[in-house]
Amino acid sequence: MNKSVNILLILLLIPVFGLTIFVGFDLPIEFLKTSGKNLPYQHVVFIIFGILIFLLGARRSMQRWIGVKMVNKEEKYQWNQEIDAKRKAQINMYLIIEGVMHILVAFALILLTQKALVIATVFFALGLDHILFCVFGNIKNVWRVGVTNKAIVIAERDFKVIYFSGLRRVTVHQQTLFFDYIKELQLAISIDSISPKNRASFRNVLEEKLNRDKVHFSETFKEF
């Protein structure tokens, strides 16, 4: 989800910056026979883009925080462990980069034109959310992986639920743990989400929860 949200934000940011540059520098728009500052409905356009960007960012943020709350109710899980330190370092780096980039985008938009205040405010808020989530995750150690009777739940930079229903194969390739389902569906998580010291117990609990007549464990997963 995190990757798809970032792609959508970039796609929205391209026309936003285009509009902001035209308005900020009052560039001529020949096919409309007007200039940036005189462009009709520009306030409405800025607000619409601001709402779209907010909805995307807010949905991701809500899933992150709700996921963290869910996976930290340890009594509801048969297996529940904090993510590995290596993965935590990666998450910190990504969250800080995303947070700083969002805040820089906010300042860039404001410098170009005050009319982009709505969008700039949204990006600034999303940037702060990244940084807050990073700080909270490190102080409270809430980024975890849990296993229930029905699914694997991962709550970190991204929130994922790997359901057991329809699962047919579990395998490891390079740094990724793959879950293959019927109808060619495939989900994946980083193997660094699970600490090396906890991998044996993770495999054991999957052995207990999954029907081994239907789910195949690859040799790479058995050695994981």
Shared domain check, 56 and 18: yes
| Cβ count near 32 (within 10 Å) | 10
Among 79, 109, 140, identify where a domain stops.
Answer: 140
Domain residue limits at 85: 2-140
Task: Note whether 96 and 47 are same-domain residues.
Answer: yes
Supply the mean pLDDT for the chain: 93
Domain tally, the chain? 2
CA distance 216 to 182: 13
- Tell me: do 97 and 22 sit in the same domain: yes
CATH number at residue 185: 2.30.29.30
Same domain, 197 and 180: yes
Beta partners for residue 28, in sequence order:
35
Q: Of 198, 210, 223, give the one whose Cα is nearest residue 169.
A: 210
Amino acid at 173: H
Please give the average per-residue pLDDT across 87-93, as a whole number. Answer: 95
Q: Which pTM does this prediction carry?
A: 0.90
Query: Mean pLDDT across the stretch 92-118?
Result: 96
* Domain end marker among 123, 140, 157: 140
Question: Of all residues in the chain, what percent carry a pLDDT higher than 90?
Answer: 83
For residue 27, what pLDDT band results from cuts at 50, 70 and 90?
Answer: confident
With contact defined as beta carbons under 8 Å apart, do 129 and 34 qualify?
A: no
The secondary structure element, H or E, covering residue 2 is helix 2-24
Between strands 216-217 and 167-173, the pairing is parallel
- Give the tens place of pLDDT for each residue, 166-208: 999 999 998 899 999 998 899 999 999 999 999 999 999 999 9
